Every structure is written in C-alpha cells, then in structure tokens.
Amino acid sequence: MTNNDLALKAHLLRRAGFGASRFELEQISDKSYEEIVEDLIHPERFEEIDEDYLKRYNPENSYHDGIAAAAGRWIWLMINTKRPLEEKMTLFWHHIFATGSYKGDHTPSTIRQIQTFRENGLTNIKQILLDLAKDPSMNYWLDNCENHSDQPNENWGRELLELFSMGVGNYSEEDVKQVARAFTGWTFEQPLPLYPYGHYETKFVFNESDHDNSEKTFLGRKGNFNGEDIIDIICEERATALFICRHLYNFFVEDEAQVPAWSIEPPRNPEAVDTMIDILMSNDGEIRPVLSYMFNSDFFKSSFYKKVKNPAELVAGTLKLSGRYSVVPADGENVGTLYGTTAVMGQALMNPPTVEGWHTGHEWIDGGTLNERVNFAVNQFNDVSSPGFRDILERLGPVVESGDLVDRCLDLIGPIEVGEETRIALSKYAEEVGDVNLGTNEDNVENAPKIARMIQLIVSTREYQFA
C-alpha cells in the first residue's frame, strides 16, 4: 500500500470501527478502499467471534446478571470482532436510543437490547424503531408499561418524536398525546422474582384489552392507529430522515452541535446531509446505502481528525494497538474492569446519563476526563512485552536513526498526522535518545523502553484524541 492508501484505510477503520493495527491493515492491503467499505457494511460475510476463551478467562461473563461484565464483554468485542461496523452501529444506536440499566436494574433486558441493535443496526429505520418500541428495557425506561387506555403516559411517545426520530419542531403537543394513545397496551411480561436464582428473561407483550382502539389524529392523518401505524407514518417524514442522517454525519464524519441545538443550528455540511436524506428515503429507510455513499464520499475521505474519539473508541483502539485483551485474554485481563475505564472518561456503557444520551465532540474533554484518557493510553505501553509493542519493535528493524524515529513511530501506530508544535516536542525527545539499536536481545532490553517512551508521548498528544 502507498502511504496515502494506508492512511485512508486507517481513517476508514477508525471511523467505521475502532481502529486497526498495522497487521490488520496489511491483511486488507490487496483490497481496494471500495471493497473494504462493502465488507464493512456486510458483516455477515465474516464469522462471529468465538467467545469460549473470553468465558474461560472471565467466567463471570457466563452469568447474565452483571452490567460491568456485560459492558466489558462489549468492549472486548469492539477490540476483537471481524465485524467492526456491526459493533460501531450498535454503539451508534445505543447513543441515540439511550437506555440506562440503573433504572430497570434488569441486566438480561439491557443485554438483549444491545444484541438487538447488533442484529438490526444495519437494516432499516422502520424495523429499528419497531424493535425499539417492543424492547422491554426501553418500555420500562420510558414508562410505556404504565401507558394505559384509561390513563395514557406520554413519556415514550414524547421521546420517540423528540429524541428518537423527528426532532423538536416537527410535531405538536397534540401529536404526542396521540402517539401515547396509539402505544397503549404495549408492555412486557413480568419476569419471575429475582431471588434466589437471579434475573429471568422477559419479552414484549401486547395487551389488547388495555389498548385505545378509538380514532386518532397524528401529523394531520386520521385513523384507528396503533403503535406500528405511528412508526410507519414517522418513517415517511423527511424530518425523520434528516434527524437520522444528521446523527450519522455527527457520529461518523465530524462533530456537530449538540442534539438540543439542532432545531436552530443547521448542519455543517447541508449538501452532504441532504444527499444522505434522499438516499435514505429513496431506499425505504435502508441504512446500508446511506453508509455506502457516506464512506465513499469525498467529504468523508477528507474528514481526518475532525472527531474527538468517544471513550469506547479511545479504549478499544488503544488496546488494539497494545495487543491487550485479545481473543485469548492474558491472566489478569478482567474485561469487567473496562466498564469502569470508559465510565471515568464519561461514557458508562449501558448506563447513559439521561434519555438524551451523551454529549459528544469536545464535551468529551474536560480537566478530569482528559487526565483519565491520557493516563490510560500511556499506561498501555508501560509493559514492553505486550504483543502490540513487540510487533512495533520488530517492524522498526535493527536500527532506527534519530531523525527517523518520530515518523516511523507515527506511521506504525496510525498513521497519525501531528501539528508542527507536537512534532517539535517529539523530535526533541528523539534527539535526546539518538540512534536506537534493536538488533540483538541485549539491545532490545536496553533500548525498548526508549521506543516505549516515544509511543507514550505520541498517545498523550492532542492529535491522538481525535479520530
């Protein structure tokens, strides 16, 4: 691969997945950029990952009642999956349809919701919204189990319109009331008591006797609408396509204004978003054609470093580089701890702060979270025996001249582009180190820490915080 091809493919895999090691990039070197996009949007071409080793080294993942273990397993999948876009879209929908396990305290439902996003995240918006409406975790989160024909509860109906599909300004208060009526009777089967064996599964139930069968008026249309009818109507609206496409642009291309401002703040690239809307609507809400257009577009290919990595991206991507938490976890690599790792950076997976989800972009960064992000990245390269670091050493060769050290390291862990100020600082360290010999075991023992320090300096830079 040329340097330009390599950088572009690395960019694609940072955005459509969680980054790639140099070995992973070499595995796809004979494929064109366009072929890689097709592979990404068709994850079924690749086998699902075998989790036997995970459960062997982390037996708590065989038990379905621990959020930390479940979230840690998810990050482990982000690191190791052969279907990176599948996991990225799972994270995407979890961000939009934010559901916190802390309210329901029913881990099986939370795990099932994430699995649903994994299964349907690349299908079409109608199916995605319908599955969401039937999801027990969301049902309890937004109180639709308390939405009765004689006493409607508007919580689910309001958020379906405001935060999950159309956005503020595209519906009325009366529309919210009508949506609530249409979804009466949509509830879930009460699971068996928690004790003594832990939580049991539950499932969607439609209680016809608790459903409002009278006529409703929604977005100017009249009929005896049920919840599925409402979703059909929502998915026909251009406002819904705009809302979803703007989310896609914000998540995959470049950081936008926060969602609450979208009713007054236009998209940064209205032409791109308009085209994405047209593609979504002309393909009956199918997600894949929109992603194909977006990833192959010039605006995507030129969007290097326009997104702050969210904590899951930072953690999973850094661990891919270091080679830790691989398919066969090493002793002491308890995946459950990864839940806390992203949580202290502001992203507790499966536990978003509110129904609005997380604020993104530069709002991921403050004095506390930046410290956690940098310390985490640096600490992954304390161990010079880690598989990822040993691979970097081998690729550097027997001798690295001082003048080449910065560029060689930037290339192997990215490629990463840095600004002039950062380059001056890195070059200063390279000059202090001088030429580095790695030709013998003795040289490796003596000089590997010097390379590790350069890697640590790179992952602590401002540029490394961007995808």
pLDDT for 193 = 73
- Checking if the pLDDT of 1 tops 60, the result is no
Whether 96 shows a pLDDT value over 60: the answer reads yes
State residue 331's pLDDT score.
85
Write out the DSSP string of 10-73. HHHHHHHSS---HHHHHHTTTS-HHHHHHHHH-GGGSPPPP-HHHHHH-GGGGSS--HHHHHHH
**pLDDT over 90, % of the chain:** 90
Tell me the per-residue pLDDT of 325-359, one tens digit each, with 9 for 90 and over.
Answer: 999 988 889 999 999 999 999 999 999 999 999 99
Percent of the chain residues past pLDDT 70, beyond the cut: 99
Gap between the Cα atoms of 413 and 407, Å rounded: 10
The pLDDT of residue 2: 63
For the chain, what is the mean pLDDT?
A: 95
- β-strand partners of 151: 148
Query: Is 256's pLDDT higher than 80?
Result: yes
Q: Is the pLDDT of residue 4 over 90?
A: no
Give SS3 for 205. Answer: strand
Q: Are 210 and 149 in contact (CB under 8 A)?
A: yes
Q: What amino acid is encoded at 403 in this protein?
A: G
In this model, does residue 198 exceed pLDDT 90? no
How far apart CA 87 and CA 17 sit, in angstroms, is: 7
pLDDT (tens digit, 9 = 90+) per residue, 396-405? 999 999 999 9
CB 188 within 8 A of CB 140: yes
Confidence at 63, pLDDT banded by 50, 70, 90: confident
Its pTM stands at 0.96
Q: Give per-residue pLDDT as tens, 112-131.
A: 999 999 999 999 999 999 99
91 token code pair: 């994270």
Nearest-angstrom CA–CA distance, 418 and 460 = 12
pLDDT, residue 66, reads 87
Q: What is the spatial distance between Cα 104 and Cα 188, in angstroms, rounded to a whole number?
A: 13
d(CA 143, CA 115): 21
334-338 CB contacts, 8 Å cutoff, 24+ apart: 334/58, 334/72, 335/54, 335/58, 335/61, 335/69, 335/72, 335/73, 335/75, 335/76, 336/58, 336/60, 336/66, 336/68, 336/69, 336/71, 336/72, 337/68, 337/72, 338/71, 338/72, 338/75, 338/76
Whole-number Å distance between alpha carbons of 162 and 262: 11
| pLDDT value at 465 more than 70 | yes
